[in-house]
Amino acid sequence: MTALTDLTIVEARAGLTAGEFSARELTQAYIDAMTAARGLNAYIAETPDHALAQADAADQAIRAGTAGPLAGIPLGIKDLFCTEGVHSQASSKMLDGFKPAYESTVTSNLWRDGAVMLGKLSMDEFAMGSSNETSYAGAVINPWRAQGSDQNLVPGGSSGGSSAAVAAHIAAGATGTDTGGSIRQPAAFTGTVGIKPTYGRCSRWGIISYASSLDQAGPIARTVRDAALMLGSMAGYDPKDSTSINRPVPNYRAALTGDIRGLKVGIPKEYRPDTLPPEIQKLWDQGVAWLKDGGAEIREVSLPHTQYALATYYIVAPAEASSNLARYDGVRYGLRVNGSNLNDMYAKSRGAGFGGEVKRRILIGTYVLSAGYYDAYYLKAQKVRSLIARDFATAFQDVDVLLTPTAPSAAFAVGETTDPISMYLNDVFTVPASLAGLPAMSVPTGLSSTGLPLGLQLIGRVFDEETVLNVGSVIERAAKFTARPTSWWRA
């Protein structure tokens, strides 16, 4: 018999509806798996009692015939989401002890639809990182290891707890957030599916802010169908977020027809740097072949400002971060370190509360916004951002969706990448779509020569998550990605 934790969300929902098992049994199976996987360090706070209470409520709703689309499905929630009365610290010491008195809109939507919270998932501190090594709780370990190796690898970041938990089957699905690739790159590193919807599709209310013009929530799941189901619950207009988009959420699962005949798929030539590893190029070519087989028409397109996306991002995101993180003052919540006067208390609290990468980004952001430098850096970056967005708009006059690699490598070792710029290069293929606010998804498509997962990215038009998901489902079916890590971590 298949373990309950090996069922996809769609399969688990069917089993619950048919009465094959209860939400309590399913949740208990996940709690046991979560407890046995503490070596991965994916959860920063476990909430088993909370989960069982929600599971019992789901069982009642299922019996009463009032169950929502996610009733009884155990999920992990990234620590960036405020969850009422529960650890919400963005994996930072700065938010020491913070337990919000309110619930984020996205998580409220999930509970409305019956989902169960297993706990909070670790992440790079304040979502700043691409390896989940900047969490104050220490690195999260990727369930995947290279063939014949017992070296610990990173699960990607910043949603690394989310990707690790989904890959290790210690959550049926997880919430993530993506500012420059923080859903898609971890998904690629762990053989999972991750979609960042159009900016404004999911409410940012109650999500701890990093870079507000880029931050967007989305799911990490094991299949495209599961991701579609979760996104349908997470998305929706919210008057509490002024950038939330007031338009109906489509039925994402209904969009998964598998029919891509006549669809025009763009291959951006600028996503093929000389340094692209041959095995990633090969995987990309394979993806093109699969879509051709499905009846799509392939066209080369040009996004000429791609090479400037990372530099643009590393001005815009730190600038917004320096402003957003000004709220951590040791007065209203989180860590406070006493000082000789008010300014000294601020500086000491922030000096002790923030980790190295967060400090670096706040300082860069402060610098590029400071008097005399604003035009040269920030304004310039926002102009280049316009050009990057325009490149995409032009390409989408000719094609319906773009296919690219998700990341320039497979997962790397914990402690291997120490230089900030080298770390930033992980996001070279994901940052452009973030700057333009476009929906984009990573789908697992194969294994590297060392047996590690690799993913391909689909980028769609504004609001067109449906095409992204549908094309993703075609790639998923063709790739038949069924590989799983061995459960070496089980206690």
Partner 1 sequence: MSIDLSTVRRIANLARIEVAEEELPPLATELNKILAFVEQLEAVNTDDVQPLTSVVDAQLPQRVDEVTDGGYPDRVLANAPHAEHGFFTVPKVIE
CA atoms lying within 13 Å on the CB side of residue 70: 28
Can residue 273 be called a binding residue for partner 1 (CB under 8 A)? no
Catalytic status, residue 233: no
Can residue 340 be called a binding residue for partner 1 (CB under 8 A)? yes
Give the number of other CB atoms < 10 A from CB of residue 422.
12
Nearest to 158 by CA among 315, 361, 373: 361
Nearest to 62 by CA among 53, 52, 72, 54: 72
The residues in 158-187 that bind partner 1, with binding defined as CB under 8 A, are none
CA separation for the pair 469, 300 (Å, rounded): 21
Can residue 155 be called a binding residue for partner 1 (CB under 8 A)? no
User: Is the CA virtual torsion 249, 251, 253, 257 positive or negative?
Assistant: negative
* Annotated catalytic residue within 182, 209, 409, 473: 182
CA separation for the pair 446, 280 (Å, rounded): 10
What minimum distance in Å lies between the beta carbon of 367 and partner 1? Answer: 5
- 299 burial via Cβ count (<10 Å: 0-12, 13-18, 19+): middle
CA separation for the pair 157, 186 (Å, rounded): 5
User: Is the CA virtual torsion 30, 36, 40, 41 positive or negative?
Assistant: positive
Among 98, 255, 264, 408, binds partner 1 (CB under 8 A): 98
Among 228, 245, 249, 469, binds partner 1 (CB under 8 A): 245
Catalytic status, residue 182: yes
Beta strand 297-301 with 440-447 is: unpaired
Q: Which of 256/368 has CB closer to partner 1?
A: 368
Can residue 410 be called a binding residue for partner 1 (CB under 8 A)? no
Among 115, 116, 224, 364, binds partner 1 (CB under 8 A): 364
What minimum distance in Å lies between the beta carbon of 334 and partner 1? Answer: 7
Mark residues 188-227: x for contact with partner 1 by CB under 8 A, - for none.
----------xxx------------x--------------
Among 69, 339, 408, 451, binds partner 1 (CB under 8 A): 339
Q: Which of 163/306 has CB closer to partner 1?
A: 306
Q: Which of 21/367 has CB closer to partner 1?
A: 367
Catalytic status, residue 78: yes
What minimum distance in Å lies between the beta carbon of 388 and partner 1? Answer: 8
Can residue 287 be called a binding residue for partner 1 (CB under 8 A)? no
Among 93, 99, 272, 484, binds partner 1 (CB under 8 A): 99
**Beta carbons within 8 Å of 248's beta carbon, 6+ residues apart:** none
Can residue 101 be called a binding residue for partner 1 (CB under 8 A)? yes
What minimum distance in Å lies between the beta carbon of 125 and partner 1? Answer: 14
Can residue 126 be called a binding residue for partner 1 (CB under 8 A)? no
Give the number of other CB atoms < 10 A from CB of residue 383.
10
**CA distance to 76, 118, 186, 195, 233, per residue, from 30 (Å):** 10, 8, 21, 23, 21
CA separation for the pair 439, 268 (Å, rounded): 16
CA separation for the pair 4, 2 (Å, rounded): 6
Can residue 491 be called a binding residue for partner 1 (CB under 8 A)? no
What minimum distance in Å lies between the beta carbon of 326 and partner 1? Answer: 8
Catalytic amino acids? 78, 158, 182
